[in-house]
Structure formats: C-alpha cells, structure tokens
A and B are shown apart, each in its own frame.
Chain A
Amino acid sequence: MSPALTVFVKECRESLRDRRVLLNSLVLGPLLGPLLFLVLMRLVVGRELEKAEQPLPVVVIHGERAPELITALRQMGLEEKPPVADAELAVREQRIDLALRVAADYGADWRAGQPAQVELIYDSSRREAHGDVERLRGMLESYSRRHGALRLLARGLSPAIATPLVVASRDTATPQARGALLFAMLPYMLVLTIFIGGIWLAVDSTAGERERQSLEPLLINPVPRDRILLGKLLATAAFSLASLTLGLLAFLLVGHFMPTEELGLSLALGPHFIAVALPMLVPLVLLICIAQILIAAFARTVREAQTYLGLAQLVPLIPSIVLSVLPVKAQLWMYAVPLLGQQLALMRLLRAEPVAAIALSLSAAATMLATLAVFALTRRLYESERLAIST
C-alpha cells in the first residue's frame, strides 16, 4: 500500500469513529444548507403566497341582486358564506371578518349605466382582516375597471381615456423578488456543505495532530511529507465529497417542498442536476480542502484553526452576493475564477439552462490549477521544520 493510501485509510477510519466528525460532516453539513433554505423560503415567501392562494371567505348579503358580479368574484377566489341578519353587528362582535352587501337598486343602476353600489362591511381596527379586505376591494375594482372599459368600447371610445395615470408598483419586497434572492443563495448553500464536510478533518489531521503531539512521530517515518499531505488531503476531500453528495440529495428532497412554481421559478433540482453538478464540483472540493489544510497547518492551535476556517466559510459568499445584487451577464472569463465559475454554472443548471462545455472545462482547469498552487504552498509549509514542533 502506498504511504498516501495508508494515511488516507487511517484518517478515514479514525474520523469514522469520531461521533463529532460524523455529526458535523455527514449530518449537520449536508442538512444545514437545505433545511436553512427550506425554512427561509417558507418563512419569507411561503406564508404570503399561501394566503393569496386560499379562497377568500366572505359573507355575501343579497348576492342574488348581482349574479354576474358574484360569479366573477367566485372565479377570483371568493368563497360565498351564507348571509347573516345584521352584518354590522356581526362584524362588531367579531363573529365574521368581512361582509359584502349588494344595494337594493344595484340591478337597476347597472342596467342604466349608473354607478351601482356594493358595500363592504368590516372593522378596520382589526389588523388580521386587513389583507382580506384589500383583496376583496381589489377584486371589486378589477371587475369595475373591466366593465368600465367595456362600456367605453361600446361607445366607440378608447378605455385609455378613463385612465390618465397608470401607477405601476415595483415592490422590491415581493415574494418573487425575495424568492429570487434566496434562489441566488442556493449555490452558496451547496458550497457550504463542501466546507463543513472537510473542516473537521482538515483541523484534526494537521493542527490537531500537532496539538496532540502525534505529528512528530508521524513525520519521523520514512515517508516524504508530500505523501502524508496527499493522504490527508484525500481523506478530507472524501468527507467533504460525502457531505456534498448528501447535501445534493437533501436539496433534491427539499426541492419538492419549495413553493417554486408559485414564485415563477423553476428549480431543476433533479437527478440530472446532481449528475452534472457533482463531477463539476470535484475540483472545487479539492481546492477547498487543500485550502483548509493550509490554513489549519498555518494556525498554531486547533482553536485558532477553527476560528480561521470559520471565517473562510464566508469567502464563497462574495460571488453569491455579487451575483444576486448585480445581475451581470456571465462572461466566459468568469468561469476561470474558482468559486465564481462553479456558482455561475450551478445557477444555470438550476434554471435548466445548458452550460457550455468550454465554460465547464475552463472552470475545471482553472480550479485544478489553483488546487495545485495551494498544494505546493501547503507542501512548503509541511516541509518546514516548525510544522512538527508542538511547543
């Protein structure tokens, strides 16, 4: 067995026996991202969407006076409740939230082309009914506008005459916009599973070995240090990759519970996504793991290493934020930037858009090159005298 393989097997065996490592790398790491994502998605957009979708229960009084109106409202989501005797009293006593009363001369006015009256009965001091009132008002207004336009057309006039001003609302906090922002965070969540999967082994196998005074005996063996480093890198990457794989599977499951259709987003989180994303991310796994080992070897203690690596987890946030704030059009050179390239490709894959083979190759080649560079740097650190000396 080659020395690197020996180290790899030993590191894996030792880590598999550590409950903390298992919990972090194989449970917390893969599940944290998807769960966070699901919870955020539900919290931020889910509730409002659900409300907008649900039928709107309204007590309708004298609905028979305006059958056309009621039919139209029903199509817009109104759920007719049986009338009550005294609507005002019922609302005041909070027995009902909202009532709609059609005036007695509604039919006559409508036919005469006069403004026909309907009444909304509600209590404006009751906040929770506010959304329902607005919704019903909106339905009524849209019905009114539609028929107003029809009447103008019937008289040979453009409906535009009656709309001198158009107010277009661009609420940046709409569920859709917030959903898209979260959506842009999804690649980061995936990259995070790579980080969390490798962090324990990276710390444990370098800073940890030094702190527990087992690094000096290890390095006295007749094995070149880069072999030992390679073995440790492979073990770290194996756990990281396992975490990523489990994370992808978790996202696949979570994808079913996400209100993506309501948001007008299509999340292509299927088996195809995994089949492309997983091999695409392997070079990034290696890069992140060797960077973690470098940082852990640089730190003097385990605690210090954990602090640094905790901060390092924020680095992949940068491309995510840039991508979500600045809707830049992906240029080919961006794929040559490790992290950014993978995140761009992930976004495209999630939208079920094809990623050009050249972009994928460029991303893989650039990331591997960066991996080799960091490996060379870490190797120099590994070969320094101070590495093994614990005190």
Chain B
Amino acid sequence: MPSADTNLTLQKAAESAVGFALKAGAKEADALVESGAQFRVDVLQGEVENLKQAQTRGLGLRVFVDKRTALVYTSDFRENAIKDIATRAVELAKKAQADEAAGLPATPPAMAADAAGLKTYDPAVAALTAEQKIDWARSVEKAALAYDPRIKRTDGCSLQSGVGETWYASSAGKSLTYRNTGIGGFINPLADDGDKQQSGGYGEFQSHLEALSTPEAIGKEAGKRAIDKIGARGVPTQKVPVILHPDIAGNWIQNLFNAFSGEQAFKKVSYLTEKLGQPIASDLVTLIDDGILPGGVGTAPFDGEGGATQKNLLIDKGVMKMFAYNAYWGRRAGARSTGNATRGYQNAPGIGPRNLYIANGASTPEQILASVDRGFWMVDSGAFGYNATTGAYSYQAAGFWIEKGKVAFPVAEITVASTTLDMLKSVVMVGNDLRYNGNVNSPTLKIAEMTISGRQAAG
C-alpha cells in the first residue's frame, strides 16, 4: 500500500482524480494526464551549444455538477494533492452557472478503429541516445556548410525530440491511453551575398525516425535555400499568377482551419458561416483533416475528451462539407463532435486540426512552373499577414520570378496579397508533391492571380 505522499502512476492518477471528484459530489468528470521526456540540443560549429532535458507531467481534471463545470490542474501526483484539487473543483463547479450544453461527450470514451495501426509511437525515436542526437545535429550543420563555399556560417542546428504518454479517464467509461514520439531538427544557414547575407531556414518534424530525411538531405536543402536567394531583388507592383510552395500553402491552410471551427461558425464570426454545402473553392481543392493518418505528427487514437478521432473531409472537390466540433460546441450547434477537441492538461478543450492537408492533385511541380508565362513563385514569407475575421491575405514574400515557364531571378522585398475566398476559387493547378512534415501540409498550388506590391514603379 503506497503511503499518501507517494506519487501515483499516470493511470492511477487519472482514475483517482475522477473517483475523488465523483465522491465529492460531481455527476460527471474526466481527467487528462500528459507526461513526456523532452530533449533539445543545439549544435554550433560542431560543438554542443545547449543541451536541455526534462521529464514533465501534468493532470487536468474537469468536473460537472448538474451542468455546472470547473477545471483544475496540477503537476503534483501525490494522492492527497489529487484528492485536494478534486474536492476544490467540485466546490468551484457548484458555484458556476448551469449550462445545458455542458457535459461529457454523448458517446462513451472510445479509441479510433484500428488504434494499433496509427503508429503514434516509434521505439527507434525513444531509443536514440543523446550522443546519437548530437551527432545527427552535427551532420545537418556539416551538410549545410558543405553545400556551397558561400555558406560561411549557420546559427546552429537545433534538434528536439519527445517521448510522451497520455491517459484519459472518465466517469462515462473505460480509461484510454496512447504513447507518442516526435523528433525534428531545424537549421538556418547564411550565405554571403555581397554586403548582404541570405538565410535559408529548413526543418522537419516527424513522429517516426524513418520518416525524417537524412541529416545530410536536411542540411543540403537548407543550404540550397540560402544560396538560391543570392541576388534577390524587388519587382514592380502588378497582378500575376502565383505559385505557392508547399510551405507557404501549408501556412495558409493552417490559418484557414480556424474558419472551419464550429465555435466560430456558431457565433457567426467565421467568414465561412453561410457557406456550408456550397462550392467555396475550385473543384481541384480537397481539404482533409485526418486524426487517424498512420504515423502523422497530429495523429492520436482519441481527442482531448476521449472522442474517437476520425478522418474529416472539410472541402470535397471545392464544396464545403462540414465544420469541426468538440463536444460542447457540437451540442450548441446541434452537431456531433468530430474528434477535434484539442486539450492540454491546463486547458479546457478547444477545437483544432489533427493532420490537416490538401489532397494531391495531378500536376508535377515542374508542370506547374512550366505553365506560368510570367509570374511569381512564393517560397518564403513573414510570420503574419492573415486576417482571421475576413480571410484577407497579405504577406511579405520571397521567392523567384518566372518568365516563360522558367526561373528568371530570385525576388525579395515584395508582398503578395489576395483574400482567402478568392484564392480558394482561383486554384488552377494542384501539385502531386504532398509530403507530410509536421501536422499541416499541402502540395504546390498555383493561384490564377494575386497582387504583388514592390518598390519599383510598374512598367
């Protein structure tokens, strides 16, 4: 019998929290326990610059007392501490206002079908030693520096990895658990360009080691991105066809997802509110959010409130098919949860994507390039430029000018603008180069026309 000040196991902690809450008077309760080993190393000029390691864990408990809700969390896993916060949560909830839509999901906790085939956990990632990870980062940096003599330095290669275990316990049914892994690296090499310098950041993040490119390939890609920018210049203000690199298209749809949030639609603040069932995009566009993509970085067998994850078709050949819900906003809107409840142990469930992507089209990136008589190929952008309320799109951009289907010269110091609804309708080609890197991805897209703003006068 463990004493009161011994730490409980993750499963026991989650189940005890729910049990204590019910004993204290809760009608329903659920608990999410997250635990993980986190690792980060930064290598600069072949030497370890920073090495950070930590084991973290936390428990979040949500209680419902007659449709009244409270949420508490702790990283203290002693039985007494958990009993204490469970009791406090129930006391707090009694004072809240009843909300008819509050409560656990209508369906008992369940894993997605074929949970075993989801491949969220890679023993090869868990087995990597610190030395192996340091060597990996060294190899990335070496390859970046070796790509071209004009690359004289980098700001270091950073590798991060994690091994996690999640438990979900609920008064509505059985406990659920899964383990996951993640590993990735990033490097930003700098190329001399006269009195300027160009940078070429590239990184990857995967759940499985085998999905990660070799360190040599990552370093080489980053080096190429820096070298390719040498001599970049502005172009005049004009409207032209724009090719969105997969990185740029991915950033765009990551922002776009918010308009598919059932909460935003119910409050009528999403610009897609009135668009359900209508064509909103060119019929080349199919947008999917897939919680059960085997090996996906965003894959999990259940969401933040024990709902089975699923594959959701958001846009099918241009037609808007659905909004994404968690249990609460689903109930408010008269819809079902779509397995999109995102939740960290410190927070109440929100709505977010799992593995979001645009499905592959038929064109090779080369065919897309060849199709542009005069236009811009956007490969890099500033961090902000999307208006979540209107879908307006206006980003600082860098990339390449295209003349007669070929790259003419690198471009910088311009902006590229349109609106999301116009862009969706103007997708005239979709690449066949979708690759999963991180949890939001797209193939290359060609947009019929966007507005370029530059320093030089037009003409």
Do the two chains bind? Answer: no
